[in-house]
Structure 1
Amino acid sequence: MNRGSRLPLSHLADMTDDAGLFEHALLTAPRREHGYCLDDVARGLAVLCRFPETSFLSDRLLTIYLGFTLAALAPDGRCHNRMATDREWRDEPGLGDWWGRALWGLGAAATHAPSNEARKRALDGFRVAAQQRSPHARAMAFAALGAGEILIADPREEAARALLHDALDTLGPADPSPGWPWPEPRLRYANGAVVEAFLVSGVALPAPRAVLTGLRLLTFLMDAESHDARLSVTPTTGRGPGEAGPGYDQQPIEVAALADACARAYGITGDPQWREGVRAAWAWFRGDNDAGVPMFDSHTGGGYDGLEPGGRNLNQGAESTLAVLATAQQAQRLGVLG
């Protein structure tokens, strides 16, 4: 991936059929027997909406992902997550992370999809899902990312405004312990999304204290997820007070969420340290990580599923591929793709 080049979507396309995005891969081949999940499809919708220029392929993928996300909505705003290849849902509608990511994807599409029709369909879907509230902080953080996009674009959108207020109430205490400022007892997964939720809520509402909270948490997170002048992100087991890295497996989604948070902070403050954070995130994918191995295929855009002590998980699933593309988008936009 070179600066100024179009990011390759060939692996993402290989992981997609006319129904949706397959969740898992065996090396580069989609594992169709595991079906599709809204978690990944909605994440893909958000990523596709961030391309400054569209193509026939990106438009086709966006149309598929938007259709899947809307089909996952129940009338009361809850969402299905898992669909099998027979096109039947395998779960009951719920309010887990997938619900929050649906709102994230729909919010992105409502403001950035290439056609008026797609933007209208996405906004209608957002309003359906925004009837609900999740008891889970991560789900509400993901939902806030979509609501923030909509409210920034249209301050009259009350469904988005109400959701952001409730997300801030759910995300954590206003005055956390100075020894552990994170609003949870442990760092978990996609931690950057929590930070970005504070930042985007603070800009959209507006709520200046939320912006300050987000910047304080991002400073803490960058310090906690760095080791020997490179990113060493929270492993799958999490990380609590006093626990030092490196730890494994490190997941690409953690790096992508950190890149998004740093890009958002740079857009708000213009502080070059946050641009450097995006550069460090992209460097992690290029091999400046604890195992010293690249975490993506530069020819196809496929992402490897996890960083391990001796190298990498060679499977290229949907989540990791989207994490690569999302981080590359931010690096390209800020001129640090290199």
Structure 2
Amino acid sequence: MPSFAHLARLSDDTGLFEHARHAIARREHGYCTDDVARGLVVTSREPEPTEAVLRLAERYLAFLTHAQDDRGAFHNRLGHDRRWADRPGLGDWWGRALWGLGTAAGRSPAPWIREEALVAFGAGAARRSPAPHAMAFAGLGAAEVLRRHPGHAAAAALLADAAEAVGIPDPNPRWTWPQQRLTYANGALAEVVIAAGQLGDDGPLLGTGLRMLAWLRHVQLLDGRLSVVPAGGWRRGAVRLRHDQQPIEVAALADACATAATVTGDPVWDVGVRQAVGWFLGDNDVGTPMWDPATGGGYDGLTPHGPNLNQGAESTLALISTLQHARRWS
């Protein structure tokens, strides 16, 4: 089971600190909506949260509602002095904020969290981002809302638009992907297409998402273990580099495989989830665990020489979200 100890260590009464040196929060770097939103995702996924985890979810929800403007856009960066360092926008942080809000609205066991999250989700769901990743993250939040509220029109429209924003994959089996480059959180793009196909009762779209995910998983396997696209990405036709691998890639693939397993019942997708869990536990290119059992924190990246020992928010959230899927076998 995942530990929330390090997430609590990185959190204060305002939000979630973005960076850490080893296990100690770097307060001077402040907070970002991106990470707080992911914090709301993982805390809302807990079916029986402890009182401490529930308080974290409340804190993250309050941060997101504070970050949202009256037109549904979001600030991203808040300094430790509690001042916003940017103007509200519709980048990845907007998409992740809607993902967090949608997950809280759909899954939180606390009704007061579900109710407030749904209001904030609705305020942001009418907006659209030009960025496919931002739309994919927002679409994942919309899918969470629709699983609990099937008649939510704004969520249905957002999910459909998110799948359209991802695009149609190349029919070439050697590159079954809509873009010419794999960048970051790639699994989220396949997952939102799968969700749109399932919840929109669109068989061909569901098949497209599953083909995308099957290809993505295939190209990120090496000798039966996960070897995910590194931070620099991978352009079609270019040499594939192996480092530095980021935990967010593994977490996105785990989420997508878990969704595919739930939708199809095909055990091949559970294998994908197990490989993602294995990556954190040491079944990776360097053969080293990617988390610190003493703190519960996830390491920030896999280098050719081993882990980057800093335990920031993004990597710790990726660890928690991936280990949450291990409940499928408990």
Q: Could you tell me the TM-score, scaled by structure 1's length?
A: 0.95
Q: Tell me if structure 1 keeps the 8 A contact 2:30–2:80.
A: yes
Q: Tell me if structure 2 keeps the 8 A contact 1:176–1:183.
A: no
Question: Where does 1:218-233 land on structure 2 (aligned, <5 Å)?
Answer: 218-233=213-228
Question: Where does 1:173-184 land on structure 2 (aligned, <5 Å)?
Answer: 173=168, 176-184=171-179
For 1:120, which of 115, 134, 140 is the aligned residue? 115
- CA pair 299-53 structure 1, distance change in 2 beyond 3 A: farther
Q: Secondary structure at the match of 2:289?
A: coil
Name the structure 1 match of 2:62: 67
Name the structure 1 match of 2:132: 137
Name the structure 1 match of 2:154: 159
CA RMSD between the two structures: 1.3
Q: Tell me if structure 2 keeps the 8 A contact 1:140–1:170.
A: yes
Structure 1: distance between partners of 2:251 and 2:326: 11
Structure 1: distance between partners of 2:166 and 2:273: 24
Question: Where does 1:254-333 land on structure 2 (aligned, <5 Å)?
Answer: 254-333=249-328
Structure 2: distance between partners of 1:76 and 1:230: 44
Q: Which amino acid aligns with 2:41?
A: A
Structure 2: distance between partners of 1:120 and 1:162: 20
Structure 2: distance between partners of 1:177 and 1:135: 26
The Cα offsets for residues 186-236 of structure 1, whole Å up to 9 and x where unpaired, read as 111001111110111112222222211111011101111111111000001
More displaced stretch, 86-95 vs 165-174: 165-174
Q: Secondary structure at the match of 2:302?
A: strand
Once the two structures are TM-superposed, the CA of residue 153 in structure 1 deviates from its matched residue by 1.5
Once the two structures are TM-superposed, the CA of residue 176 in structure 1 deviates from its matched residue by 4.2
Q: Which amino acid aligns with 2:106?
A: T
Q: Secondary structure at the match of 2:292?
A: coil
Q: Which amino acid aligns with 1:271?
A: D
Once the two structures are TM-superposed, the CA of residue 244 in structure 1 deviates from its matched residue by 5.5
For 1:148, which of 137, 143, 149 is the aligned residue? 143
The Cα offsets for residues 155-189 of structure 1, whole Å up to 9 and x where unpaired, read as 21011011012112211126644442101101110
Name the structure 1 match of 2:165: 170
Q: Which amino acid aligns with 1:283?
A: G
Structure 1: distance between partners of 2:154 and 2:176: 30
The Cα offsets for residues 259-299 of structure 1, whole Å up to 9 and x where unpaired, read as 01111111111111110111000110011111111001224
Q: Tell me if structure 2 keeps the 8 A contact 1:287–1:295.
A: yes
Unaligned 5+ segments in structure 2 are none
Q: Could you tell me the TM-score, scaled by structure 2's length?
A: 0.97
Once the two structures are TM-superposed, the CA of residue 99 in structure 1 deviates from its matched residue by 0.3
Count matched residues.
330
Structure 1: distance between partners of 2:209 and 2:52: 36
For 1:105, which of 100, 104, 110 is the aligned residue? 100
Unaligned 5+ segments in structure 1 are 1-5
Structure 2: distance between partners of 1:334 and 1:145: 24
Question: Where does 1:203-222 land on structure 2 (aligned, <5 Å)?
Answer: 203-222=198-217
Q: Which amino acid aligns with 2:10?
A: M
Q: Which amino acid aligns with 1:215?
A: L
Q: Secondary structure at the match of 1:49?
A: helix
Q: Tell me if structure 1 keeps the 8 A contact 2:107–2:144.
A: no
Q: Which amino acid aligns with 1:152?
A: R
